[in-house]
Protein backbone atom coordinates (compact mmCIF):
# COMPACT_ATOMS: atom_id res chain seq x y z
CA UNK A 1 0.00 0.00 0.00
CA UNK A 2 1.34 3.42 -0.98
CA UNK A 3 1.71 5.71 2.03
CA UNK A 4 2.42 9.42 2.36
CA UNK A 5 5.73 10.43 3.87
CA UNK A 6 6.11 9.85 7.65
CA UNK A 7 5.94 13.58 8.45
CA UNK A 8 2.46 13.82 6.93
CA UNK A 9 1.26 10.78 8.86
CA UNK A 10 2.75 12.17 12.07
CA UNK A 11 0.73 15.37 11.67
CA UNK A 12 -2.45 13.37 11.31
CA UNK A 13 -1.56 11.57 14.54
CA UNK A 14 -0.82 14.90 16.22
CA UNK A 15 -4.32 16.13 15.42
CA UNK A 16 -5.94 12.98 16.81
CA UNK A 17 -3.81 13.06 19.96
CA UNK A 18 -4.36 16.78 20.62
CA UNK A 19 -8.14 16.37 20.43
CA UNK A 20 -8.01 13.40 22.81
CA UNK A 21 -5.87 15.45 25.19
CA UNK A 22 -8.42 18.25 25.10
CA UNK A 23 -11.18 15.76 25.90
CA UNK A 24 -9.33 14.43 28.92
CA UNK A 25 -8.57 17.93 30.19
CA UNK A 26 -12.30 18.13 30.88
CA UNK A 27 -13.09 14.51 31.71
CA UNK A 28 -10.14 14.09 34.04
CA UNK A 29 -11.33 16.94 36.28
CA UNK A 30 -14.98 15.91 36.60
CA UNK A 31 -14.44 13.88 39.77
CA UNK A 32 -12.92 16.77 41.74
CA UNK A 33 -15.52 19.26 40.51
CA UNK A 34 -18.48 16.95 41.13
CA UNK A 35 -19.96 19.08 43.94
CA UNK A 36 -20.44 21.99 41.52
CA UNK A 37 -21.60 20.04 38.46
CA UNK A 38 -25.08 18.96 37.30
CA UNK A 39 -25.87 15.25 37.12
CA UNK A 40 -25.08 14.67 33.40
CA UNK A 41 -21.49 15.84 33.83
CA UNK A 42 -19.92 12.66 35.14
CA UNK A 43 -17.15 10.50 33.75
CA UNK A 44 -19.51 7.54 33.53
CA UNK A 45 -21.93 9.51 31.36
CA UNK A 46 -19.46 11.38 29.16
CA UNK A 47 -16.56 9.01 28.54
CA UNK A 48 -18.55 6.78 26.12
CA UNK A 49 -19.65 9.83 24.09
CA UNK A 50 -18.08 11.31 20.97
CA UNK A 51 -15.99 14.47 21.21
CA UNK A 52 -18.79 16.56 19.73
CA UNK A 53 -21.35 15.11 22.13
CA UNK A 54 -19.09 15.85 25.11
CA UNK A 55 -18.70 19.44 23.95
CA UNK A 56 -22.45 19.84 23.42
CA UNK A 57 -23.21 18.44 26.88
CA UNK A 58 -20.71 20.83 28.47
CA UNK A 59 -22.21 23.81 26.65
CA UNK A 60 -25.76 22.87 27.68
CA UNK A 61 -24.76 22.37 31.30
CA UNK A 62 -23.01 25.75 31.46
CA UNK A 63 -26.05 27.48 29.96
CA UNK A 64 -28.65 25.85 32.21
CA UNK A 65 -28.45 26.59 35.88
CA UNK A 66 -24.78 26.26 36.87
CA UNK A 67 -23.71 28.81 39.46
CA UNK A 68 -21.48 31.61 38.21
CA UNK A 69 -17.82 31.09 38.98
CA UNK A 70 -14.62 29.51 37.69
CA UNK A 71 -16.14 26.01 37.47
CA UNK A 72 -18.96 27.17 35.22
CA UNK A 73 -16.49 29.21 33.17
CA UNK A 74 -14.26 26.16 32.71
CA UNK A 75 -17.19 23.99 31.58
CA UNK A 76 -18.41 26.70 29.20
CA UNK A 77 -14.95 27.22 27.72
CA UNK A 78 -14.56 23.48 27.13
CA UNK A 79 -17.82 23.17 25.20
CA UNK A 80 -17.10 25.23 22.08
CA UNK A 81 -13.45 24.14 21.62
CA UNK A 82 -14.43 20.47 21.85
CA UNK A 83 -17.10 20.94 19.18
CA UNK A 84 -14.64 22.71 16.88
CA UNK A 85 -11.89 20.19 17.59
CA UNK A 86 -14.26 17.34 16.76
CA UNK A 87 -14.95 18.84 13.33
CA UNK A 88 -11.24 19.26 12.59
CA UNK A 89 -10.45 15.69 13.57
CA UNK A 90 -13.44 14.29 11.69
CA UNK A 91 -12.44 16.17 8.55
CA UNK A 92 -9.18 14.22 8.66
CA UNK A 93 -10.43 10.82 9.79
CA UNK A 94 -13.35 10.80 7.33
CA UNK A 95 -11.19 11.73 4.35
CA UNK A 96 -10.04 9.24 1.71
CA UNK A 97 -6.61 8.61 0.14
CA UNK A 98 -5.98 10.15 -3.26
CA UNK A 99 -3.09 11.35 -5.41
CA UNK A 100 -2.58 15.09 -5.07
CA UNK A 101 -1.33 16.86 -8.21
CA UNK A 102 1.55 18.46 -6.27
CA UNK A 103 1.95 16.58 -2.97
CA UNK A 104 1.75 12.91 -3.96
CA UNK A 105 -0.44 10.77 -1.66
CA UNK A 106 -2.79 12.91 0.41
CA UNK A 107 -6.25 12.69 1.93
CA UNK A 108 -9.26 14.17 0.17
CA UNK A 109 -12.37 15.10 2.12
CA UNK A 110 -15.87 15.07 0.62
CA UNK A 111 -18.21 17.60 2.18
CA UNK A 112 -21.51 16.39 3.62
CA UNK A 113 -24.73 17.76 5.00
CA UNK A 114 -27.46 16.20 7.10
CA UNK A 115 -30.79 15.39 5.51
CA UNK A 116 -33.42 14.02 7.85
CA UNK A 117 -31.57 11.31 9.78
CA UNK A 118 -28.62 10.71 7.48
CA UNK A 119 -25.67 12.50 5.88
CA UNK A 120 -25.47 13.10 2.13
CA UNK A 121 -22.77 14.60 -0.10
CA UNK A 122 -23.04 18.34 -0.55
CA UNK A 123 -20.87 18.53 -3.68
CA UNK A 124 -17.79 20.10 -2.08
CA UNK A 125 -14.32 18.58 -1.69
CA UNK A 126 -11.01 19.74 -0.27
CA UNK A 127 -7.53 18.34 0.14
CA UNK A 128 -5.91 17.61 3.49
CA UNK A 129 -2.67 19.25 2.42
CA UNK A 130 0.45 20.05 4.42
CA UNK A 131 -0.69 23.66 4.70
CA UNK A 132 -4.18 22.63 5.85
CA UNK A 133 -2.68 20.43 8.56
CA UNK A 134 -0.41 23.27 9.71
CA UNK A 135 -3.39 25.62 10.02
CA UNK A 136 -5.53 23.10 11.91
CA UNK A 137 -2.76 22.11 14.32
CA UNK A 138 -2.18 25.78 15.05
CA UNK A 139 -5.90 26.25 15.68
CA UNK A 140 -6.10 23.18 17.94
CA UNK A 141 -3.23 24.49 20.03
CA UNK A 142 -5.05 27.82 20.41
CA UNK A 143 -8.20 26.01 21.56
CA UNK A 144 -6.22 23.87 24.00
CA UNK A 145 -4.54 26.98 25.40
CA UNK A 146 -7.97 28.52 26.03
CA UNK A 147 -9.12 25.40 27.88
CA UNK A 148 -5.95 25.24 29.97
CA UNK A 149 -6.24 28.95 30.81
CA UNK A 150 -9.77 28.41 32.16
CA UNK A 151 -8.62 25.32 34.03
CA UNK A 152 -5.85 27.29 35.75
CA UNK A 153 -8.52 29.48 37.40
CA UNK A 154 -10.23 26.51 39.08
CA UNK A 155 -10.04 26.31 42.89
CA UNK A 156 -7.21 24.09 44.18
CA UNK A 157 -8.04 20.44 44.55
CA UNK A 158 -9.28 19.46 47.98
CA UNK A 159 -8.28 16.09 49.29
CA UNK A 160 -11.12 13.59 49.28
CA UNK A 161 -9.22 11.01 51.29
CA UNK A 162 -11.25 11.32 54.47
CA UNK A 163 -14.51 10.78 52.62
CA UNK A 164 -12.94 7.92 50.69
CA UNK A 165 -11.46 6.12 53.67
CA UNK A 166 -14.01 7.06 56.32
CA UNK A 167 -13.68 9.00 59.55
CA UNK A 168 -11.29 8.08 62.31
CA UNK A 169 -14.17 6.81 64.44
CA UNK A 170 -15.20 4.47 61.62
CA UNK A 171 -11.68 3.15 61.31
CA UNK A 172 -11.00 2.57 65.01
CA UNK A 173 -12.46 -0.97 65.23
CA UNK A 174 -10.53 -2.08 62.16
CA UNK A 175 -7.31 -0.49 63.33
CA UNK A 176 -7.48 -1.98 66.81
CA UNK A 177 -7.69 -5.45 65.31
CA UNK A 178 -5.12 -4.86 62.58
CA UNK A 179 -2.67 -2.27 63.90
CA UNK A 180 -0.34 -2.74 60.97
CA UNK A 181 -2.93 -3.52 58.26
CA UNK A 182 -5.39 -1.67 56.07
CA UNK A 183 -7.09 0.11 58.95
CA UNK A 184 -3.91 1.84 60.03
CA UNK A 185 -3.04 2.86 56.49
CA UNK A 186 -6.50 4.39 56.07
CA UNK A 187 -6.12 6.34 59.28
CA UNK A 188 -2.70 7.62 58.27
CA UNK A 189 -4.11 8.88 54.98
CA UNK A 190 -6.86 10.71 56.84
CA UNK A 191 -4.31 12.10 59.33
CA UNK A 192 -2.14 13.59 56.61
CA UNK A 193 -5.10 14.88 54.59
CA UNK A 194 -6.60 16.64 57.62
CA UNK A 195 -3.76 17.28 60.13
CA UNK A 196 -5.87 19.76 62.10
CA UNK A 197 -8.24 17.02 63.32
CA UNK A 198 -7.76 14.70 66.26
CA UNK A 199 -6.89 11.26 64.92
CA UNK A 200 -5.77 9.70 68.19
CA UNK A 201 -8.96 7.67 68.58
CA UNK A 202 -8.28 5.58 65.51
CA UNK A 203 -4.69 4.68 66.38
CA UNK A 204 -3.89 1.45 68.20
CA UNK A 205 -2.59 1.85 71.73
CA UNK A 206 0.88 0.81 70.62
CA UNK A 207 1.07 3.88 68.37
CA UNK A 208 -0.04 6.48 70.95
CA UNK A 209 1.68 8.08 73.90
CA UNK A 210 0.72 5.04 76.01
CA UNK A 211 3.07 2.87 74.00
CA UNK A 212 5.58 3.73 71.32
CA UNK A 213 6.07 7.34 70.20
CA UNK A 214 3.09 8.70 68.27
CA UNK A 215 3.15 9.12 64.53
CA UNK A 216 4.85 12.43 63.74
CA UNK A 217 2.56 15.23 62.56
CA UNK A 218 2.93 16.40 58.96
CA UNK A 219 5.94 18.65 58.48
CA UNK A 220 7.84 17.34 61.50
CA UNK A 221 10.81 15.01 61.68
CA UNK A 222 10.55 11.77 63.65
CA UNK A 223 12.97 11.20 66.48
CA UNK A 224 16.30 9.74 65.42
CA UNK A 225 15.87 7.01 68.05
CA UNK A 226 12.50 5.96 66.67
CA UNK A 227 12.64 2.65 64.74
CA UNK A 228 12.36 3.11 60.98
CA UNK A 229 9.35 0.79 60.74
CA UNK A 230 7.28 3.22 62.83
CA UNK A 231 7.95 6.12 60.43
CA UNK A 232 6.51 4.48 57.33
- 96-100 β-sheet, strand order: 96-100, 104-115, 118-128
pTM for the structure as a whole: 0.63
Q: Which residues contact 75 (CB under 8 A, 6 or more apart)?
A: 26, 37, 41, 58, 61, 62, 66
Element (H or E) spanning 107, and its range? strand 104-115
Whether the predicted pLDDT of 207 surpasses 70: no
Our CA angle for 34, 164, 189, nearest 5°, is 125
Q: What is the pLDDT of residue 187?
A: 52
**Cα(28)–Cα(53) distance, rounded to whole angstroms?**
16
The residue extents of the domains of the chain are: 6-96+127-152, 161-214
- Work out the mean pLDDT of the chain and round it to a whole number: 77
**Residue 142 pLDDT level (bands cut at 50, 70, 90):** very high
Q: Which residues contact 108 (CB under 8 A, 6 or more apart)?
A: 95, 96, 97, 98, 100, 125, 126, 127, 128
Question: What are 134-142's contacts with CB under 8 Å, separation 24+?
Answer: 134/11, 136/15, 136/88, 136/91, 136/92, 137/11, 137/14, 137/15, 137/18, 139/84, 139/88, 140/15, 140/18, 140/19, 140/22, 140/85, 140/88, 141/18
pLDDT in tens, 5-34: 999 999 999 999 999 999 999 999 999 999
High-pLDDT (> 90) share of the chain, %: 50
**Residue 183 pLDDT level (bands cut at 50, 70, 90):** low
The distance from CA 185 to its chain's CA centroid, rounded to whole angstroms, is 27
Q: What is the pLDDT of residue 54?
A: 96
Amino acid sequence: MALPEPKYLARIGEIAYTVSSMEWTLLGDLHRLAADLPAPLTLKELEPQTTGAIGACASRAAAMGMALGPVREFIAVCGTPLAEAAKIRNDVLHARPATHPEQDQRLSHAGTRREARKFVLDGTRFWITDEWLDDQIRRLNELLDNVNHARAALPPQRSSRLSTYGTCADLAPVTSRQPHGKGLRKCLRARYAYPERDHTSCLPVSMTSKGRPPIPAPGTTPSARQPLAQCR
